[in-house]
């Protein structure tokens, strides 16, 4: 039975027993005068107990990382140990104020300093800023750092082009544009990798940087990465690493050793804070020595046995976020890294790769790989062209998966793959879960062949069926009206 809205549960003249009153029983004015409206807001009148029951039931109708499988490619919601949340909620972490005197927050500064050093060790970089609030914010920080470097060399006006692969995350070209650059797209070759010959023809003295993800968006490791780095560096360009897929190589390989000059990391993905719905996030940026002077300030430094925030960086691009960054996410990442250690992080990456290849093999007949049938890294892209020919689509498959109890994978991206489904199982799912997911995909393919319209009108077994997403986007109704 559908859940009614909180307004429909409202009872007229419901008495709130806890409104402050004076000695005569009259309601007191406990809000400042300037915050009191002439007409009270039309809030529902329900008891606290009814509110709790209502919203708890609604929450149980949602998909969640604690109850199901999220195979979203590239931005996957993965299960993370609850001890990391416990650590972030310790009073000594959660109840700090960012402007407390430094002598009262030595423990927090130590966490930030040691986390920065750990991230440098894992990526092969020299120094890290923890300020950026998320991945795209980290991208912007990295590109602005590169721009400041070129400006210091007197080449900012000359180097006006950023190269971006056609399979890149959509934030990459957006970031470069926001930083004032012209974006040129590098096509992929038939293997889904950067076309090295095309790259050679495109780089010149106007190249500021190449933004690259490795392994790339299709889940393949760029086999020519050392040569790619050499091509870019020969013309004086910089190599930027989009760290969205760092969870495929953490503990196995380091972007700094591949030739990258700067990298952002998604702590909220690779290092333990499940994200979605806008946050929370944290996107630290680490750089090689020649870019370090331009990183944001302040940064935590250790002098003798004390920690403090250092502001004296005259070439820095300055502060890019209020306060010092999203501290709670840092604590989770610090706990995750120190708990697992380098061996545990390596095992996590290996398990992510194993799970992806196992799942890719299970569904290869119904949903073939988008490019050459070769081992992938942590994620892979398949094409739903076969179900398209039978009358359905990747969209139909995604909606039908909800009936089987699975969240849908990423669909229609990257755009270079027709009817794309990008699947990332992560390291935290069991073989049994992956087998069940594969069985559901194969069953849906069979359903499409028998009755495509049935699939096209799914989901059938959820509180909310197929919605008009175009209408919802163009004509949203943001308030309740009876």
Q: Residue 142 belongs to a domain with what CATH number?
A: 3.40.640.10
172 pLDDT band, cuts 50/70/90, is very high
Q: What is the pLDDT of residue 23?
A: 67
Tell me, yes or no, whether 114 lies in a domain: yes
478 pLDDT band, cuts 50/70/90, is confident
Q: Count the alpha carbons within 13 Å of 127 in the hemisphere toward its beta carbon.
A: 16
Give the whole-number percent of the chain exceeding pLDDT 90: 73
Q: What is the pLDDT of residue 32?
A: 80
Q: What is the pLDDT of residue 155?
A: 97
Tell me, yes or no, whether 303 lies in a domain: yes
Tell me, yes or no, whether 291 lies in a domain: yes
Tell me, yes or no, whether 56 lies in a domain: no
Tell me, yes or no, whether 400 lies in a domain: no
Q: What is the pLDDT of residue 238?
A: 98
Token representation of residue 147:
């721009």
**Mapping DSSP to helix (H, G, I), strand (E, B) and coil, where does residue 103 land?**
helix
Instruction: Give the whole-angstrom CA distance, residue 421 versus residue 424.
Output: 10
21 pLDDT band, cuts 50/70/90, is low
29 pLDDT band, cuts 50/70/90, is low
Tell me, yes or no, whether 11 lies in a domain: no
Q: What is the pLDDT of residue 139?
A: 97
DSSP 243-302: ETTGGGTTTT--HHHHT-SEEEE-HHHHTS---BTTB-----EEE-GGGGGGS-S-EEEE
**Mapping DSSP to helix (H, G, I), strand (E, B) and coil, where does residue 63 land?**
coil
Residue 198 has pLDDT above 70, yes or no: yes
Residue 278 has pLDDT above 70, yes or no: no
Instruction: Give the whole-angstrom CA distance, residue 407 versus residue 72.
Output: 8
344 pLDDT band, cuts 50/70/90, is very high
Q: What is the pLDDT of residue 268?
A: 81
8 A C-beta contact, residue 248 and residue 115: no
**Mapping DSSP to helix (H, G, I), strand (E, B) and coil, where does residue 91 land?**
helix
Q: What is the pLDDT of residue 283?
A: 93
Residue 17 has pLDDT above 70, yes or no: no
15 pLDDT band, cuts 50/70/90, is low
374 pLDDT band, cuts 50/70/90, is confident
When mean pLDDT is compared over 1-10, 33-42, 152-161, the highest value belongs to 152-161
Q: How far is CA 125 from CA 241, 256, 290, in A?
A: 11, 6, 11
8 A C-beta contact, residue 70 and residue 64: no
Tell me the backbone φ, ψ of residue 423, rounded to 5 degrees: -120, 125
Instruction: Give the whole-angstrom CA distance, residue 49 versus residue 14.
Output: 13
> Before 215, cis peptide (omega within 30)?
yes
8 A C-beta contact, residue 71 and residue 362: no
Lowest mean pLDDT among 113-122, 224-233, 385-394, 414-423: 414-423
Q: Count the alpha carbons within 13 Å of 47 in the hemisphere toward its beta carbon.
A: 4
Number of domains forming the structure of the chain: 1
Tell me, yes or no, whether 162 lies in a domain: yes
**Spatial CA neighbour of 330 closest among 62, 470, 79, 131:** 131
**Mapping DSSP to helix (H, G, I), strand (E, B) and coil, where does residue 50 land?**
helix
Tell me, yes or no, whether 319 lies in a domain: yes
Is pLDDT larger for residue 176 or for residue 325?
Answer: 176
**Spatial CA neighbour of 218 closest among 45, 332, 109, 377:** 377
Q: How far is CA 101 from CA 302, 304, 330, 349, in A?
A: 16, 18, 20, 39
Strand duo 238-243 + 207-212: pairing: parallel
**Spatial CA neighbour of 262 closest among 362, 141, 170:** 141
Token representation of residue 247:
């969870």
Instruction: Give the whole-angstrom CA distance, residue 390 versus residue 480.
Output: 41
What's the domain range around 193? Answer: 83-340
Residue 280 has pLDDT above 60, yes or no: yes
> Before 21, cis peptide (omega within 30)?
no
**Per-residue pLDDT tens for 55-80?**
999 988 888 888 899 998 877 678 88
**E strands along 45-109, which residues?**
none
Residue 379 has pLDDT above 90, yes or no: yes
What's the whole-number mean pLDDT along residues 289-304?
97
Token representation of residue 380:
């892979």
8 A C-beta contact, residue 263 and residue 241: yes
């Amino acid at each position: 039975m559908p859940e009614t809205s909180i307004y429909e549960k409202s009872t007229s003249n419901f008495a709130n027993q806890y409104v402050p009153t004076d000695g005569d029983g009259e309601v007191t004015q406990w809000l400042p005068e300037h915050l009191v409206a002439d007409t009270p807001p039309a809030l529902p009148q329900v008891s606290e107990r009814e509110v709790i029951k209502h919203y708890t039931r609604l929450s149980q109708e949602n998909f969640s990382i604690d109850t199901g499988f999220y195979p979203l490619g590239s931005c996957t919601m993965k299960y993370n140990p609850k001890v990391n949340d416990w650590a972030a909620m310790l009073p000594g972490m959660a109840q700090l104020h960012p402007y407390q005197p430094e002598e009262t927050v030595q423990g927090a500064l130590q966490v930030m300093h040691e986390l920065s050093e750990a991230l440098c060790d894992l990526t092969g970089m020299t120094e890290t800023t923890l300020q950026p609030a998320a991945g795209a914010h980290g991208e912007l920080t990295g590109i602005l750092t590169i721009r400041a470097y070129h400006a210091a060399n007197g080449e900012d006006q000359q180097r006006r082009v950023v190269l971006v692969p056609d399979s890149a995350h959509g934030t990459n070209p957006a970031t470069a544009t926001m930083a004032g650059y012209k974006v040129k797209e590098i096509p992929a070759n038939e293997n889904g990798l950067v076309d090295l010959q095309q790259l050679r023809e495109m780089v010149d003295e106007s190249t500021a940087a190449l933004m690259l993800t490795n392994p790339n968006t299709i889940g393949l490791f760029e086999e020519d990465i050392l040569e790619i780095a050499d091509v870019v560096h020969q013309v004086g360009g910089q190599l930027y690493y989009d760290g969205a897929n760092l969870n495929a190589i953490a503990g196995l390989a380091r972007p700094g050793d591949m030739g990258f000059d700067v990298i952002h990391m998604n702590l909220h993905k690779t290092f333990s804070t499940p994200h979605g719905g806008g946050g929370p996030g944290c996107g630290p940026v680490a750089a090689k020595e020649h870019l370090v002077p331009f990183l944001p300030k302040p940064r935590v430094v250790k002098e003798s046995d004390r920690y403090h925030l250092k502001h004296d960086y005259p070439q820095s691009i300055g502060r890019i976020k209020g306060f010092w960054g999203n501290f709670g996410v840092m604590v989770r990442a610090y706990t995750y890294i120190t708990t697992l250690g380098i061996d545990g992080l390596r095992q996590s990456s290996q398990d992510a790769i194993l799970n992806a290849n196992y799942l890719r093999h299970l569904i290869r007949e119904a949903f073939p790989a988008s490019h050459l049938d070769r081992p992938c890294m942590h994620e892979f892209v398949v094409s739903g062209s076969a179900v398209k020919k039978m009358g359905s689509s990747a969209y139909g498959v995604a909606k039908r998966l909800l009936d089987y109890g699975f969240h849908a994978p990423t669909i229609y991206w990257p755009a270079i793959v027709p009817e794309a489904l990008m699947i990332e199982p992560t390291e935290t799912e069991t073989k049994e879960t992956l087998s069940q997911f594969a069985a559901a995909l194969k069953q849906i393919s069979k359903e499409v062949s028998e009755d495509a319209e049935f699939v096209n009108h799914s989901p059938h077994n959820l509180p909310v069926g197929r919605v008009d997403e175009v209408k919802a986007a163009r004509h949203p109704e943001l308030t309740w009206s009876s």
